[in-house]
Amino acid sequence: MLTAKQWERAAIVYAFTEPDKGAKRAQAKSGHSDLVSLKDFAKLGNVGLREEETVSWMREAWQDAIAGSASDAT
């Protein structure tokens, strides 16, 4: 389970990344030029988000939470 600070980080990661895709592909797919790959996000060196594996895990946690929330609403 994630702590409050980890949920904040997970939300940030989800907002600015595309999973396993480079920035050019993310931009083409979504139209957002500010989306980056998980690897590039990790390279930014944010506290607690310096490893690609951690960034990936955070993104998946947020995505799972969204999916669970959506299924609870139906």
The confidence score (pLDDT) of residue 24 equals: 53
The confidence score (pLDDT) of residue 2 equals: 72
pLDDT over 50 (residue 49): yes
Measured CA to CA, the distance from residue 63 to residue 15 in angstroms comes to 11
- The model carries a pTM of 0.72
Q: How confident is the model at residue 68 (pLDDT cuts 50, 70, 90)?
A: confident
Sign of the dihedral through C-alpha 65, 60, 27, 12: positive
- Taking only the tens place, the pLDDT of each residue in 9-48 is 999 999 999 977 544 554 555 565 689 999 999 999 998 8
Closest CA to 18 of 39, 45, 4, 3: 39
The confidence score (pLDDT) of residue 55 equals: 96
